[in-house]
Structure 1
Amino acid sequence: MIRMHWLAMLALVGVAPAAARPLPALQQAAPAAPQNAPIAQETPEEAARTAKLGEALAAIQSGKAAEATAILTPLLAEYEQAYAGEKRKIYCAQDQKQTILYMLRAAGANENAIAIGPGWCLALWGRGFALIDQQQIDAAVPFLERAVAMSPSYAHYLSELGYAYQAQKKWQRSYDTYARAAEAAKGEEGEQRAKSLRRAWFGMGYGLIEMGKLDEAEKMFNQCLELFPDDQKVKNELQYVREQRAKKS
């Protein structure tokens, strides 16, 4: 059952500016809060995990990655223990729409599955984010991959993983993951949809430059500008594309 305690909690984490070259800065952005989720009574154990998750996100917001890690490591162990006996495939759903999506996907694959709330995956994301913030990219990737595996249609986790692959210079894998994020973002609405698309397209454009595909990269950045015409970071990347093209002529 999806819980509605994440609106205030997720607001704890803000957005940090991203740099242009050589690599976009770590996106300190909280996953979007669940929409249209039913209100349900938490058990005392669930409420305790929710409180710990809030403390971890507050630590991330304050730039205290080590403190967040100290909270998230045992918290993730609690999630593992809580669902240790679950034999069905577990999905983390942000809202009712995702719940239906994942259950239909499971039915189509003839698999037994359940959709739980976003807490476990948010903790995985937070653990990965903290490790990236500490420049431990390789250690962060498995946590982000797990979050994506459990929440495969959530643009935020996909873009975070795409960023991690970028940091590892795995350009094609990064591009493919950002492309999945862009596809997932199309299912979002309003400002969140625009922000998610911009982030995914920006990541795709960055990877295309690194793979020498300047024309395709330019197209991606221009799509970003259609959403946010005054985005200076996108304009910087377009200028970089022009400079690289000039060097080849």
Structure 2
Amino acid sequence: MRPIILAAALLLTGAAPALAAQTAAAPARPATVAQPTPAEKQEAQDREVVQKAMLAFSRGPLDPATVTALQQVIAHAPAAWPLVQKVPDGQTIVRLNGGSMTDTLSALLTAAGSPEAREGKGVAVAFNTYGVAALMLGSRGVSLGQPQEALTWLERGLAFQPDNLMLVTEKGMALALQRRFAEALAFYDAQPPQDPLARPVDPNGPARLLRARGYCLIELGRLDEAEAAYKASLELEPDHGGAKNELAYIRDARAGKPPQQPGQLMTGEEAKTYPAK
């Protein structure tokens, strides 16, 4: 059986209990600035919309009004909203997708060892308002089997946040649903190395990218390369059930055994715990 293992935005549902803490972790503003700028005011309003949508998403499919609200948030996105951003006052902002207090602490500890911190410059953790909005809309399109709708929002998100591996792998999933495997693989292979400061944002992103590559390589008949990709992913994220099942599929394919069932769409958490053969 070959499960499709992404729909990455569903990984965010576990973050809902920590949203209040993430709001509190917004970057500190310099003491000399008395009032927020118009852009900061807009982002604060958009952040509230996205966090409410995340809470709703944790309970079930998004209703049309929430979808429209997220689309309006994307319309407010700046031209650049990277996961790791140096701002003019020398501070570095690390934007988290939600996550737990452990994720926040991990981000802060990672940042504490960064060159910016060693140079005495501040590093702050903030909520990834616009990246999460694009991811939720894109993942919704994938889960509904509407890859072109998904691509509309994922490509919009990647335009302002190209370093977001969740957006990257979700776009590849949308391409895979259209059976554009070679294009998805080329897109994955074009990704630059991840910024160390971004790792707490999506710690399993590199492993997920390897699994996504492996999926496309199988579909392209490049089994040896696919096997290597899945084995490398298990070094980063051991005991991932989906990766182990894909390795079993490769063994069966080499032995001439047909798959037991057709492929299916699975969320990231479902794939992780999928019982390995």
Per-residue CA deviations over 1:47-91 (Å, capped at 9, x if unaligned) read 3222111111112222222x2x422424433553x57xxxxx811
Task: Give the 5 Å matches for 1:191-202.
Answer: 192-193=202-203, 195-202=204-211
TM-score, normalisation: structure 1: 0.69
Where does residue 70 of structure 1 map in the other structure? 65
- Name which of 126, 140, 144 aligns with 2:150: 140
CA distance in 2, matches of 1:191, 1:44: 24
Aligned to 2:79: 90
**Paired letter, 1:207:** C
The 3-state SS of whatever aligns with 2:251 is helix
Equivalent residue, structure 1, for 2:232: 223
Which residue of the partner structure matches residue 6 of structure 1?
A: none
Residues 137, 164 of structure 1: 8 Å contact kept: yes
Output the TM-score relative to the length of structure 2: 0.62
Q: How many Å separate the matches in 1 of 2:246 and 2:150?
A: 26
Whether 2:212 is the aligned partner of 1:177: answer no
Structure 1: where are the runs of 5+ without partners? 1-19, 84-88, 101-116
Q: 1:157 aligns with which of 150, 154, 167?
A: 167
Q: Is the 8 A contact 2:81 2:161 kept in 1?
A: yes
Distance 1:191 1:157, change over 3 A: closer
8 Å Cα contact 2:158/2:168 also seen in 1:
yes
Higher helix share: 1
CA–CA separation in structure 2 for the residues paired with 1:135 and 1:76: 19
Per the alignment, in what secondary structure is the counterpart of residue 96 of structure 1? Answer: strand
Aligned to 1:125: 135
* Mapped contact 1:158–1:180 kept (Cα < 8 A): no
Identity in percent: 28
Q: Could you say if the C-alpha distance between residues 167 and 30 of structure 1 is closer, same or farther in structure 2, counting changes exceeding 3 Å?
A: same
d(CA) in 2 for partners of 1:153, 1:57: 21
Q: What displacement does 1:232 show?
A: 2.2
Contact 1:208–1:214 (Cα < 8 Å) also in 2: yes
Hey, what's the Cα distance between the residues in 2 that align with 1:44 and 1:187? 26
| Greater RCO, CA 8 A, separation 6+ | 2
Secondary structure in structure 2 of the residue aligned to 1:152: coil
